């Protein structure tokens, strides 16, 4: 199976939450979601927590993402559960 999305989308879409910026919170949020047969993203949740609004931002980014190329099995598009990391790093 293959999946694809614009790799620049996530990095260009991050709006670092003010509380996280103020508290200096950085880290990696794992986001679980389903890529549907039509490429739409559904059932978005976070697997871990860093607090300070980072989970909500990671969910917002995925919910607003453009369609992905769905996985294929025997030549037909299929639903596929995915988990990806989203990195939050404050600029130095």
Domain architecture of the chain: domains with CATH: 7-88 (3.30.2420.10)
Q: Give the distance, in angstroms, between the CA of residue 41 and the centroid of all CA atoms in the same chain.
A: 10
pLDDT of amino acid 30: 94
Structure confidence by residue, pLDDT tens digits, 31-66: 999 999 999 999 999 999 888 899 999 999 999 988
Using DSSP, state whether 50 is helix, strand or coil. Answer: coil
pTM of structure: 0.81
Average pLDDT, the chain: 87
What's the pLDDT score for residue 76? 94
- The total of other beta-carbon atoms located within 10 Å of residue 30's CB is 13
If you search the block for the tokens 């980014």, which residue do you land on? 61
Residue 92: per-residue pLDDT: 66
Residue 2: HSE in the Cβ half-sphere, 13 Å Cα cutoff: 3
Question: What letter would DSSP give residue 10?
Answer: H
Q: Is the separation of the CB atoms in 83 and 34 below 8 Å?
A: no
pLDDT above 80 (res 69): yes
- What contacts 11, CB < 8 A, 6 or more positions away? none
């Amino acid at each position: 199976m293959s999946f694809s999305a614009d790799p620049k989308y996530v990095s260009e879409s991050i709006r670092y939450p003010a509380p996280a910026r103020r508290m200096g919170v950085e880290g990696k949020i794992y986001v679980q979601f389903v890529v549907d047969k039509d490429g739409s993203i559904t059932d978005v949740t976070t697997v871990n927590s860093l607090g300070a609004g980072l989970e909500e931002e990671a969910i917002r980014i995925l919910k607003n993402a453009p369609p992905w190329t769905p996985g294929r099995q025997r030549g037909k598009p299929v639903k596929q559960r995915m988990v990806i990391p989203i990195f939050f790093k404050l600029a130095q």
